[in-house]
Amino acid sequence: MSTQFPQRHCFTVEAPDALQRLDRFLAARMAAMSRSRLQALIRQGHVVRAGATLGEASIRVNEGDIIELLVPAPEPDTPEGEAIALAIIHEDAELIVIDKPAGLVVHPAAGNRTGTLVNALIAHCGDSLSGIGGVRRPGIVHRLDKDTSGLLVVAKTDRAHQHLAAQFAAHGRDGALERSYLAICWGVPRPRTGSIDAPLARSARDRLKRAVAASGGRHALTHYGVLKSHVDLAALVRCRLETGRTHQIRVHMAHIGHPLLGDPLYGAGFRSRANRLPAPAQEALSALGRQALHANILGFVHPASGEPMHFESPPPADMRALMEALDLG
């Protein structure tokens, strides 16, 4: 395990370098680091100007700007196995389907080196996961946010990883993959069924957040349908992804004015609405302590047999309690 610490570099833009692209400006000052590595650090939110995160390599720097670059300490080469209980829905020689609880991080990263799904899978599967998809994310072909619960499939062989990765890359457009989520949002979307087609990029103001991009960004498409509503205060919504971007459902629902209940990143402005909920719902929302989002349906084609696989997971107890308190069950 590395004992190195993050390194902070600070540069002032002089007149000759004004209006350069950010990545080129940094490359001229960090000769030991490749431009592609610098671009990755920019995308990951490790570059700051005047307290604001710069998330695009093409941003132009101005004379007098002070540019800060934080180079994270190297991650450990290989995660270690840990005895963490898993809710296994299906397992065979090629893959394993997990019902992930809220609070479980999928793979090790800064701030979450241990206690992740990957650590649990290494302990459960042993050497069969070694190197599949990379040593730091063995077998992982998709992910769920830490505080989103629900179904995940993990590859146990190289063949399974390649086939599943191709299905997730197609995002169901070829009919192989199905992913459906249940969400409880503030208000009732109008129309009650629709699609949200809005590109996403890292927020320039907060490196932990994504945002709908005014220009550029990565294509993102979410289809939604209202299943049931509690007067005009909240609704149970089914969301189907046609792309798989970070925080996609959470950002898209907030973008149309209906953020998810309990979402600390994208629904903070709606917290006062909790006072309008019935007392049992207020208690259930407080107990939930996370975004009301659950991956309840997962379907794919088995990489070895070619047979369609379909799995369903009911909402966990915390989200089900909120649904019942709002009569959304």
Averaged pLDDT, 184-212:
93
For the domain made up of 181-295+321-325, the CATH class stated in words is alpha beta
**Taking the domains of the chain in order of start, what are their residue ranges?**
7-71, 76-170, 181-295+321-325
pLDDT recorded at residue 174:
72
Considering the segment(s) 76-170 as one domain, its CATH architecture is 2-Layer Sandwich (3.30)
- Intrachain domains 7-71 and 76-170 with the same fold: no
Let me know if domain 7-71 sits in CATH 3.40.50.2000: no
Averaged pLDDT, 125-152:
84
> What is the Cα–Cα distance from 92 to 99, expressed in whole angstroms?
15
- Reduced to 3 states (helix: H, G, I; strand: E, B; else coil), residue 314 is coil
CA distances (Å), origin 298, targets 95, 119, 159: 14, 23, 20
Averaged pLDDT, 38-42:
91
Give the rounded distance of the alpha carbon of 294 from its chain centre: 13
Query: Range with the lowest mean pLDDT among 29-33, 128-132, 138-142, 277-281?
Result: 128-132
Averaged pLDDT, 17-21:
91
Query: Range with the lowest mean pLDDT among 45-49, 57-61, 168-172, 184-188?
Result: 168-172
- 107, two tokens: 């793979």
pLDDT recorded at residue 16:
87
pLDDT recorded at residue 5:
67
Averaged pLDDT, 99-119:
86
pLDDT recorded at residue 167:
92
Averaged pLDDT, 252-265:
97
Torsion of CA 11, 14, 19, 25, to 10 degrees: -40
> What is the Cα–Cα distance from 154 to 141, expressed in whole angstroms?
6
Averaged pLDDT, 175-186:
93
Of 23, 99, 145, 147, which is the active-site residue? Answer: 145
Task: Give pTM, 2 decimals.
Answer: 0.76
Averaged pLDDT, 214-218:
87
Active-site residue flag, 206: no
